[in-house]
Structure 1
Amino acid sequence: MHFENTRTSRLEVSPSMAVSMKANALRAQGREVMDLSLGEPDFNTPGNVVEAAIHAMKDGMTHYTGPSGLMPLREAIVAKFRRENGLDYTPAQVAIGIGAKQILFNLFMGVLSPGDEVIIPAPFWVSYRDMVTFNGGSAVILDCGIEQAFKLTPERLAAALNPKTRWVMLNTPSNPSGIVYSRDELRALGDVLKGYPDVGIISDEIYEHILFPGATFCSFPGACPDLMDRTLVINGVSKAYAMTGWRLGYAVGPENLIKVLNKLESQTVTCPSSISQVAAAEALNGTQAFITEALTAYAGRRDVVIRGLARIDGLRTLVPQGAFYVFPHCGAYLGRTTPDGRVIATDVDLAQYLLTDGGVAVVPGAAFGLSPYLRLSFATSATVLEKAVAAMETSLRKLSQDQNA
């Protein structure tokens, strides 16, 4: 019996998770593997957040909540946007989900009709395109390579917009490139979108709090308040507060759109975990000291990776302004030959070679819609990062430029 339909048969396993699973398989064989594939902080969740969850369980907060979530969490989210972004929302404009990923999936499931186009600048987070196509939309990919500093320009956006366009997808700070759009850059994109009143904007801001010196974060509706009534801002607690396993994301936007998301929530998962909701409220309302401590660590780790990559001829790298990824261009290594005679034809081949030869797990740029690149996550210890970059350098030096060597 065949159990897949045409939509699921086209769907791929998350590439970053696939690489991580391969790394785990090699570990099971006794190999040392340095995993730079997953975007998951290696820190534990802050103690005050854990304690809030424990108290919630002891106090009986172990039942269903409404699809829209607990009011204290919705109020905490409203307060966060007012305090940190200067934006005024109401609790009725808040959606809560099992991670930001679920909210995005529900969004596309709820708003896309066949033929609707979603503009997605590449490189993009691995799931954007599949979510759009799975839910009947058409993903319009705009390549924004290292020469464009990985950023969508107003000119490229204007050229891509047409009557079929329904949404534009933005991500700042970016996974995988680490770029951060400035207020002026966002405003310039917004000026283009003013002429297209039927186009919505999705601004994925999950890495908002992971910024490095010299970078300033601006939420899209903060830069373009006149587009607030057609902008959905995606955020969550996973990255900023090391709460990946708690599975709690949130979004703010127009109330009629939030109603669509909450309707889908009620018919799919009913509600997010009540315990995770309490924990998230504490993360947002409580001390923010963890963010500062983690950011100091990430900045040091970023510097370790950038220094290491600078030693490797053939990799071109932009220093990330935010998030915990670096996305070097690796085109100089395509066409080279491995010691056992295999030609490196793509960045997928190169990532596979680095894993098998050097024990370094990275994700190929193809997974993010742009080749030839590699994504390295520096959400792990400086010690692991130093070993990983050194191992990459050793493996890459083994590649021959003569395919007959």
Structure 2
Amino acid sequence: MTNIAIPYGAYWSTPFTRWQGSFSHLHSLRFAAHVARNELQRRSIDVGSFDHAALGVSVPQKGSFYGLPWLMGLMGSEQVGGPTISQACATSARLLQSVASSLREGDATVALAIAADRVSNGPHIYYPAPHGPGGTREHENWVMDNFDCDPYTGVNMLKTAENVAAEYGLTTAQQNELTLVRYQQYEEALKNDSAFLRRFMTLPFSVPDARFKREQSVLQGDEGIFPTTEAGLAKLKPLLDGGTVTFGGQTHPADGNAAIVVTTAERAAELSQDPKIDIRLVSFGQSRVKPAFMPAAPAPAARKALQAAGLKASDLSAVKTHNPFIVNDLVLAKELGLDPLTMNRFGCSLVWGHPQAPMGLRAIIELIEQLVITGGGYGLFVGCAAGDSAMAVIIKVDDGT
């Protein structure tokens, strides 16, 4: 078994908030450092324990050129360096692979994988051209323009979902049926005063002001969840003429941050909230499919991760996906022979939103907690990313029983 471990409970996520919502005023890196300091203190983990870290961010913020070293300095860990990684919605998986590699090579003993994004109020970037008319050239809205068009294919993300739906013969009715299940699964996470979410999320959550001096508001959980019913989904029309994908079958932009401590098996027990629970990073996989077919990319990435681990899909005890479109889950289930109704217990990004870089870390945290609840085993996280690509992670949880 791999020697790369995640101490039980040494991870956290903020609630995810809707686009232009309760986190839209917060600098994403300063906010991530603010949350990390508080969460480490709650877990009695000394910030001085870290000798390596990696930051994931996909939407630039002022000063983010200084990336990980700045964030760790804000946390009070000035001795720690490391990379800043951006791979759209695959950023979290890449973070874990990066820190696992450093640990495996002996360059680190305790590492922090931390990701943050504020999709709200994305930057507007100007690219000068001294020889252009008047020195002017190109500009872009970092968030909106890149959502709208892949510069390689000239196709927006919604069209990639329609391309895949057409190839697999997926109807709006099939998408609606599974979408409704995903919202029902999230309801399980809210039972008993959000008991599942409280396993890794501090609730109520105090939202600071932009100066991090005082409390601006309080959240009881994720913000921006759309009330979803069978009748409501049936009323929605496809967004593209002749298409199948409605607003109900896709996720929404969001803001938030998340982090996971990664270390060696030898160090994991001292940082764990329950040393009897053993969590290992087992394998990774990546893929890229034909142009403009992004939602089909998770299946080959998952196959590569399974092959690297010496496993079959039937060996998995739990599956979590990043599903910007419900089409993703229908295709993955068909390709791997999985039951789509059993995937994504307790929720997924289709429901709680899409803050890009931290999204995968939260999903993996939820995957860990699901496996702990159900008695352990192998778990898969997989999700697509910009450029018709995807990454997958396999973990193993032994609950000590």
Normalised to the residue count of structure 2, the TM-score between the two structures is: 0.25
**Structure with max Cα Rg:** 1
Q: Indicate the structure with greater strand content.
A: 2
**Structure with the greater relative contact order (CA < 8 A, sep ≥ 6): 1 or 2?**
2
